[in-house]
Amino acid sequence: MVRNFNYIKNEVVNSNLCSRCGACVGICPKQVITFKSNVNYEPTWSSEEGCINCGLCIDVCPAKGYSLQADNKNINDISGNLGRFIDVYEGKALDNYINSNATSGGIVTAVLIYLLKCKEVEKVVVVENTEDSKDGYAKVTVTSNIETILNSMQSKYIQLPVGKVINEIRNKKENIAIVGLPCQLAAIDKASQKLPVIKSRIKFKIGLFCGFTYTQDSVEDMLKIMEVKEINLKRIVGWRNGGLPGNFTVELNDGTIKALPFIKEHSINVTFNALNRCGLCKDCFAEYADISLGDIGGWRSKETLIVSRTDKAEQILAEMVKNNLIRIKSIRDSKYLKKTVIPFMIKEKIIKTQIRNKYLKSKNITNVEWEYRKGTISKILKIESLLLYRLSLLLRNSKVKRKIFKNKYMAIVVGELIYYRLSKNILVRAMKKLEKKFLKDEDVLL
């Protein structure tokens, strides 16, 4: 069989499994893959003619799944689901500006700046806020500029093709640190296995925990909810602006600032705009990173949850503590881990993904070929998860969505109902309690 982008087109893009990581575009030696638009970053042929059938685009694509060390562990084992790691910490940047303007504790930004200042790397890959909405809502940048790194703080929950930098890295001689989502770093790892030059240039990989990314429609939808016309939008100030959990905040051309609470934004976007691939994703803790970072959980404090996976990560954290740049505290003790975001992500991402993928497989629908983790899964969770999955497929249908968004209050109510309220429904809670009572091993229920 000829191995080229046609496989990706059929099995990934047309099967709605592309996470827009950008790696196929970045690795193509003939540059014959491009993005359909710089809005939704769907990859497409720019010219089939130049293709040399090298198959590299297939080799790097993470969409159909990849192996994870956590797959050897029981699905109910909290720390086992993290994959390989040395320690788990909570921590924060001691620089006040970074800590108060970052997504959570500002550890990502502090580490990037340290790596540059101590000359571990010459450039870093970040996702930068754009000053003008004409340049897109955010952009992937390779930089050594501290101002740009500071301007890149805060998570942007839209798809951004970090993997496209493979081409730039291949053609430059600098050592690089890269920040990316789990699928993006898995693609970078696949690229490193194929191209030794990528392996030798990328010196440090910072992974972000990841629940979902949204299609770029999400911005349009948020503007509708905030009653802002797109033509009046100057820029997105941030997705997590102003404290915990923060607000989706925009600046209009006349200087007005408008904000929508993160909780509202999140429930609407997860319900209506999350990528199909994200609902089938099991690598939520970024196993292919040197260090993985997430929110601590419960919006308790401006701290980052840190999973250090390699000796290099341990060394950098220790040096930064010594230099008073960060403060960290080990929370490896599994009792404390239960109070963090980790069990929530295991339930919402790993277990539900396993349920959905099994369901799609039983229907012969092309899905992600993850290994199945052993362990018992609550039957109520199975029903709830499949019900919500099928409902969100319906709600993401453009005709249905358009009807709901005719009334912004309807969109808010439906979004919150699907994302938060259904699992809190009194009937579902009662059934979960009953199930727990009659099950022999109580621990199997998360």
Q: Is 307 a binder of ligand FAD (CB under 6 A)? A: no
Cα–Cα nearest to 436, from 388, 379, 386? 379
Among 152, 241, 276, 353, which residue interacts with ligand FAD (rule: CB under 6 A)? 152
Q: Is 316 a binder of ligand FAD (CB under 6 A)? A: no
Least distance in angstroms from the C-beta of 123 to ligand FAD: 13
Q: Are 48 and 32 in contact (CB under 8 A)?
A: yes
Q: Is 57 a binder of ligand SF4 (CB under 6 A)? A: yes
Cα–Cα nearest to 179, from 212, 217, 210, 224? 210
Dist CA 124 CA 142 (whole Å): 6
Q: Are 417 and 270 in contact (CB under 8 A)?
A: no
Q: Are 51 and 4 in contact (CB under 8 A)?
A: yes
Contact window for ligand FAD (CB under 6 A) among 10-18, 155-163, 229-237, 352-360:
155-163
Q: Is the omega angle on the peptide bond into residue 245 within 30 degrees of 0, that is, cis?
A: yes
Closest to ligand FAD by CB, 45 or 299: 299
Closest to ligand SF4 by CB, 67 or 253: 67
Cα–Cα nearest to 306, from 106, 153, 113? 106
Q: Is 39 a binder of ligand SF4 (CB under 6 A)? A: no
> From residue 257 to residue 296, what is the string marking binding to ligand SF4 with x (rule CB under 6 A)?
------------------x-xx--x-x-------------
Q: Is 20 a binder of ligand SF4 (CB under 6 A)? A: yes
Least distance in angstroms from the C-beta of 3 to ligand FAD: 28
Among 204, 209, 370, 419, which residue interacts with ligand FAD (rule: CB under 6 A)? 209
Structure tokens at 288: 């292919």
- 355 torsion bin: left (phi>0), alpha (psi -120 to 50), beta (else): alpha
Dist CA 371 CA 3 (whole Å): 24
Structure tokens at 124: 């870093």
- The single-letter DSSP state of residue 137 is S
Dist CA 110 CA 47 (whole Å): 42
Least distance in angstroms from the C-beta of 215 to ligand SF4: 11
Q: Are 237 and 186 in contact (CB under 8 A)?
A: no
Tally of CB atoms within 10 A around 2: 8
Q: Is 265 a binder of ligand FAD (CB under 6 A)? A: no
Which partner in ligand FAD, ligand SF4, none is near 126 (CB below 5 to 8 A by kind)?
ligand FAD
Q: Are 153 and 109 in contact (CB under 8 A)?
A: yes
Among 68, 75, 177, 183, which residue interacts with ligand SF4 (rule: CB under 6 A)? 183
Q: Is 102 a binder of ligand FAD (CB under 6 A)? A: yes
Amino acid, res. 295: D
Least distance in angstroms from the C-beta of 244 to ligand FAD: 11
Closest to ligand SF4 by CB, 302 or 352: 352
Tell me which residues in 68-97 interact with ligand FAD (CB under 6 A): none
Among 15, 24, 272, 293, which residue interacts with ligand SF4 (rule: CB under 6 A)? 24
Closest to ligand FAD by CB, 51 or 415: 415
Residue 205 main-chain phi, psi, to 5 deg: -120, 120
CA distances from 370 to 66, 158, 354, 357, 393 (A): 7, 24, 8, 8, 21
Which partner in ligand SF4, ligand FAD, none is near 32 (CB below 5 to 8 A by kind)?
ligand SF4
Among 43, 83, 106, 161, which residue interacts with ligand FAD (rule: CB under 6 A)? 106
Dist CA 13 CA 255 (whole Å): 39
Q: Is 370 a binder of ligand FAD (CB under 6 A)? A: no
Q: Is 43 a binder of ligand SF4 (CB under 6 A)? A: yes
Q: Is 127 a binder of ligand SF4 (CB under 6 A)? A: no
Among 82, 341, 346, 380, which residue interacts with ligand FAD (rule: CB under 6 A)? 341
Among 19, 76, 104, 269, which residue interacts with ligand FAD (rule: CB under 6 A)? 104
DSSP E strands, 58-99: 87-93
Contact window for ligand FAD (CB under 6 A) among 48-56, 176-184, 310-318, 388-396:
176-184
Burial category of 60 from C-beta neighbours within 10 Å (exposed 0-12, middle 13-18, buried 19 and up): buried
Q: Is 198 a binder of ligand SF4 (CB under 6 A)? A: no
Q: Which residue has the tokens 């609902």?
A: 279
Among 33, 169, 325, 351, which residue interacts with ligand SF4 (rule: CB under 6 A)? 33
CA distances from 214 to 4, 20, 85, 96, 306 (A): 27, 10, 29, 30, 24
Binding footprint of ligand FAD on the chain (CB under 6 A): 102-109, 126-127, 152-157, 160, 162, 179-181, 208-211, 213, 293-295, 304, 341
Binding footprint of ligand SF4 on the chain (CB under 6 A): 4-5, 8, 12-13, 18-24, 28-30, 32-33, 43, 51-57, 60-63, 163, 181-183, 187, 210, 212-213, 275, 277-278, 281, 283
